[in-house]
């Protein structure tokens, strides 16, 4: 069985010339058909068969390399155009590890300027909310005490207690509004507010590892497996708790 399929010449039938992609497609399709023949034939039985498949493998590798080179040539103008567009817009709006565009830097400057003011406003609002909550709690206690001390038969006392209860309800509503009020700047379509984020810092790796083993064992196991894989790939052997499995495959 031949491992070198014959490929038709470009434009052999008088039609339009094949594109570089067409050439690689036809070449690889022919080689793939040859590979299927080997599978259909029941595998390798002789040294000649092995040498034939080795030759086919070499042809496939070379075909892949030629196809990748053709792809690079065909893609180059598009890649260059895309890179030029990315560079132009990147100077304005880029926001990644490579750098920040002017608009992104301006956004960060605005946020940096607003943050201290918003923090002061938030502190004032929280203080106001705390005061409103204390007042509401006090009104509620006064209303409850007045109701407890009033006589059912004394209309004036009952009316007084009900008036205090209404005051308490109004104070509660005011406290709830104050607790929902947040510092903001509303000069645009979306208000600018403060957002709280949290950053973890591991200060005791042993203690954290024990906690992770008890609470996030799957994540820790995946991380340990990745570390072991890197160490074994680098040639490290005899790692406690790690079994190295030897696998062989054609290259």
Helices (H) and strands (E) in the chain, counts: 6, 4
Answer for the pair 20, 69: CB distance below 8 angstroms, yes or no: no
- Does the pLDDT at position 13 exceed 60? no
The 10s digit of each residue's pLDDT in 66-78 is 999 999 999 999 9
Q: What is the pLDDT of residue 249?
A: 87
Cβ–Cβ under 8 Å, residues 164 and 196: no
Whether residue 6 has pLDDT greater than 60: no
Residue of higher predicted confidence among 63 and 13: 63
Residues in Cβ contact with 117 at an 8 Å cutoff, skipping those fewer than 6 apart: 185
* The pLDDT of residue 2 is above 60: no
Whole-number percent of the chain with pLDDT over 90: 78
CA 47 vs CA 23, 55, 150, 186: distances in Å: 32, 12, 109, 80
Query: Average pLDDT over the chain, rounded to whole?
Result: 91
Contact 26, 7 (CB under 8 A): yes
Q: What is the pLDDT of residue 9?
A: 46
Average pLDDT value for residue range 59-64: 96
79-127 pLDDT, tens digit per residue, is 999 999 999 999 999 999 999 999 999 999 999 999 999 999 999 999 9
Mean pLDDT of 36-54: 86
The pLDDT confidence band at residue 12, using thresholds 50, 70 and 90, is low
Closest CA to 100 of 90, 110, 111: 90
Is the pLDDT at 3 greater than 70? The verdict is no
Give the model's pLDDT for residue 8.
46
- The CA angle 224-230-231, to the nearest 5 degrees, is 90
Q: Which residue has the tokens 């070198």?
A: 4
Q: Tens of pLDDT along 27-44?
A: 999 999 999 988 787 788
pLDDT over threshold 70, residue 170: yes
If pLDDT is split at 50, 70 and 90, which confidence band does 14 have?
Answer: low
């Amino acid at each position: 069985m031949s491992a070198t399929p014959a490929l038709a010449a470009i434009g052999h039938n008088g039609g339009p010339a094949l594109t570089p992609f067409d050439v690689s497609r036809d070449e690889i399709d022919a080689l793939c058909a040859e590979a299927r023949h080997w599978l259909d034939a029941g595998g390798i039985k002789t040294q000649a068969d092995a040498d034939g498949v080795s030759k086919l493998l070499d042809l496939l590798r070379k075909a892949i390399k030629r196809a990748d080179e053709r792809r690079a040539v065909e893609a180059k103008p598009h890649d260059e155009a895309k890179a030029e567009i990315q560079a132009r817009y990147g100077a304005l709006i880029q926001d990644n590890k490579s750098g920040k565009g002017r608009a992104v830097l301006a956004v960060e400057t605005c946020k940096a300027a607003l943050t201290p003011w918003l923090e002061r406003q938030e502190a004032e609002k929280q203080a106001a909310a705390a005061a409103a909550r204390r007042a509401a709690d006090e009104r509620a206690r006064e209303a409850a005490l007045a109701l407890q001390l009033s006589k059912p038969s004394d209309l004036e006392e009952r009316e007084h207690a009900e008036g205090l209860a209404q005051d308490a309800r109004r104070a509660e509503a005011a406290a709830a509004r104050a607790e929902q009020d947040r510092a903001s700047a509303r000069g645009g379509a979306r208000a600018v507010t403060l957002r709280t984020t949290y950053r973890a810092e591991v200060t005791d790796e042993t203690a954290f590892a024990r906690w992770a083993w008890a609470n996030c064992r799957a994540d820790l196991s995946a991380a340990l497996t990745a570390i072991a894989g890197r160490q074994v790939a680098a040639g490290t052997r005899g790692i406690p708790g790690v079994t190295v499995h030897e696998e062989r495959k054609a290259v």
